[in-house]
Amino acid sequence: MKLLEVKNLRTYFTISQGTVKAVDDVSFDLDHGEALGIVGESGCGKTTSALSIAKLLPKEGKIVGGEILLEGKDLAKLSDEEIQKHRWNDVSICFQGAMNALNPVMKIGEQIAEAIVLHHKSSEKDAMKKAAELLELVEIPGERINNYPHEFSGGMKQRVMIAMALACDPKIIIGDEPTTALDVMVQAQILNLLERLRTEFDMGFILITHDLSILAETCDKIAVMYAGRIVEKGSSEDIFQRTGHPYTKKLIKCFPDIKGNKRMMEGIPGAPPNMLEIPPGCPFHPRCEYAEEVCRRSMPDAIERDRGHFVACHRWEVMRSER
Smaller CB separation from another protein, 102 or 115: 102
Closer residue to ligand ATP in complex, CB, 110/211:
211
**Interface segment toward Mg ion; rule CB under 5 A; list 47-55, 138-146, 247-255, 311-319:** 47-55
Given a contact cutoff of 8 angstroms between Cβ atoms, the answer to whether 204 and 220 are in contact is no
13 binds, among Mg ion, another protein, ligand ATP, none (CB under 5 to 8 A by kind): ligand ATP
Among 1, 16, 17, 42, binds ligand ATP (CB under 6 A): 42
C-beta separation of 283 from 289 below 8 A: no
Selected from 26, 44, 215, 230, the binder of ligand ATP by CB under 6 A is 44
Residue 78's CB is within 10 A of a number of other CB atoms, namely 17
Q: Which positions from 104 through 163 interact with Mg ion, judged by CB under 5 A?
A: none
State the number of CA atoms in the 13 A half-sphere of 254 facing the CB.
16
**Candidate list 47, 158, 187, 209; residue touching Mg ion; CB under 5 A:** 47
Q: How far apart are CA 283 and CA 226, in angstroms?
A: 8
Sheet with 18-30, side-by-side order of all strands: 18-30, 4-15, 61-70, 73-74
CB nearer to ligand ATP: pick between 61 and 300:
61
Is there binding between residue 93 and ligand ATP (CB under 6 A)? no
279 binds ligand ATP (CB under 6 A): no
Confirm or reject binding of residue 275 to ligand ATP (CB under 6 A): yes
Name the binder of 60 from Mg ion, ligand ATP, another protein, none, CB < 5-8 A by kind: ligand ATP
Nearby residues of 77 by Cβ (< 8 Å), 6 or more positions away: none
Q: Is 189 a binder of Mg ion (CB under 5 A)? A: no
CB of 189 to another protein, least distance (A): 5
> Which residues, other chains included, contact 180 with Cβ-Cβ below 8 Å and sequence gap of 6+?
96, 97, 209, 211
Query: What distance in Å separates the CA atoms of residue 228 and residue 230, rounded to the nearest whole number?
Result: 7
Q: Is 22 in the site for ligand ATP (CB under 6 A)?
A: yes
DSSP state for residue 120 in the 8-state scheme: H
- SS3 (DSSP) at 241: helix
Region near another protein per CB under 8 A, out of 9-17, 161-169, 181-189, 299-307: 181-189
Helices (H), the chain: 46-53, 80-89, 108-120, 124-137, 154-166, 184-201, 215-218, 236-241, 246-252, 293-297, 316-322
Residues that bind Mg ion (CB under 5 A): 47
Residues that bind another protein (CB under 8 A): 41-42, 153-156, 183-186, 188-189, 191-192, 195-196, 210-214, 216-217, 236-237, 240-241, 250-252, 254-259, 262, 264-268, 271-272
